[in-house]
Structure 1
Amino acid sequence: MKKVFVGIGALFLLFVAGLVVLMTVDFNRLNKEAYYVHITTDGEMEEFKANNGEIWKSYWYEMPAYDENGKEQTLKFSAQKNLRHDAYMKLYVKKETEVTSYDEVKFDELPAKVQKLMKK
């Protein structure tokens, strides 16, 4: 009987640990390449209507981005709001061009090579 309780307890702990991982890990950022951009213009707004009649807006950006080594690549990504001018963004990219997520970062948090390229 004791072995049954230990087994059930172990399964419960495994279940709880799995829930914690699912709630805290952002899989859109996990194992993705980081690129950095400097927002200087407004995004191109796109509106679309949901089935319930609600109007949704997306703002599209296409601009040069730099990896930590300073390699440039043009990336296209969207945001649910118009991003702040003069903001530095860290883009999370998979399959070389697919942006899965982004974060705003400070200039000091950019890699040194990227800082030099963005000061121009």
Structure 2
Amino acid sequence: MKKILIGIGIFIGLVILGGAGFYAWYTQSTPYYTQITTTGKKFDVIDDETGAARDIDYPYTQMAYDEKGHGTEVDFNGHKSRPLKMQAYLRLDYSTRRNQVISWEAVPKEKVPKAALAKLNR
């Protein structure tokens, strides 16, 4: 009986460690920086159950640059019912494994790395 409980405990521990490792691998991201230069295109988010509009969002497609100035075109949503502030600088958490923006936050111009800022201000 004791050996079975030890085996179950080891199995549960391995499942937890494996899940945590996969989560860390899956959510790994690289910081990229961009500046809002368009208002985005307004669209309604439709509720699957009622078919009615339940929210408004604004998607953006634009260039973003890492700390070394390497660029990539990114797509992301503002997740707000209004467009993002024009000329605002954003730090994007970009997953190169999934080729998508995981999250974003507004940052002051001083927090944008010089190489990225030089590319954004061309």
1:89-108 aligned within 5 A: 89-94=91-96, 98-104=99-105, 106=107, 107-108=109-110
Which amino acid is 1:54 matched to? Answer: A
Aligned partners of 1:43 and 1:60 also within 8 Å:
yes
Q: Which runs of 4+ in 1 moved over 6 A?
A: none
The share of aligned pairs that are identical, in percent, is: 24
Which amino acid is 1:64 matched to? Answer: M
Task: Name the one with the larger strand percent.
Answer: 1
Pair 1:72 & 2:71 matched: yes
Unaligned runs of 5+ in 1: none
Q: TM-score, normalised by structure 2?
A: 0.64
Which amino acid is 2:104 matched to? Answer: D
Equivalent residue pairs, number: 115
Distance 1:15 1:72 in 2: 38
CA RMSD of aligned residues (A): 3.3
Aligned partners of 1:43 and 1:61 also within 8 Å:
yes
Which amino acid is 1:66 matched to? Answer: Y
Distance 2:62 2:2 in 1: 62
Aligned-pair CA distance for 1:59:
0.7
Q: Judging changes above 3 Å, is the alpha-carbon distance between structure 1 residues 26 and 37 closer, same or farther for their aligned structure 2 residues?
A: farther
